Amino acid sequence: MLTREQKKEIVNKLTQEIKEAKSIVFSNYRGLNVTDMTILKKQLKEKKSNLRVIKKSLVNIALKSAGIEGLDVKKMKGQLAISSSLEDEVVVAKILNDFAKNNKNLKILGGLLGSNIMTDKEVKDLAKLPSKEELIAKVVGSIKAPLSGLVNVFQGNQRNLVYALQAIVEKKK
């Protein structure tokens, strides 16, 4: 049993986490065994995210303290797990969605994107988006392709000039 001070500390930490997180996903983990839960936590930790189990009443207090209105986690079914990422909006949704496809005991219940409330469907749609790294790679590739073409054009002109000069030298011989 947690003391009143421990509960206040948990709420304060969770409030801060909610304010700083890029995204938060709420899920029902009822039926997950310890091994599956450990694998899921490891996958999240590799992407600088986390998963915590906290009482619904404490989560509601933290949500109100963070200024999130209109979300009552007590209405969510099952045992509540909270996953959050401070760096990437998509990564938590993507990991949990992929894990839920292979493990029917994990169910996505909803989430937060910044301070916007998301339904379970919106979280699954978010999971389909490319991650920040993938988007950066696409932008860099898009920028690099025309530049590479431009370099080839300039090199082609120089090559043609060299061929023309070489042809003139051979003709004069």
The pTM for the full model equals 0.75
**Could you tell me if 37 and 98 lie in one domain?**
yes
Residue type, 7: K
Assess whether 36 and 96 both reside in one domain: yes
Q: What is the mean pLDDT of residues 142-162?
A: 73
Q: How confident is the model at residue 41, as a pLDDT?
A: 94
Query: Are residues 85 and 156 both part of a single domain?
Result: no
For residue 103, the enclosing domain spans 4-129
Q: What pLDDT digit, counting tens, does each position of 3-12 carry?
A: 899 999 999 9
- Mean pLDDT, the chain, rounded, equals 88
CATH number of 67's domain: 3.30.70.1730
Q: Are residue 121 and residue 159 in the same domain, yes or no?
A: no
Mean pLDDT of 154-169: 78
Number of domains the chain is built from: 2
Give the type of residue at 78. G
Q: Are residues 65 and 114 in the same domain?
A: yes
Same-domain status, 141 and 117: no
Task: Looking at the structure, tell me whether residues 67 and 9 fall in a common domain.
Answer: yes
Contact criterion met (CB below 8 Å) for 49 and 22: no
| Cα within 13 Å of Cα(91), Cβ side | 22
Compute the distance between CA of residue 90 and CA of residue 123 in angstroms, rounded to an integer.
9
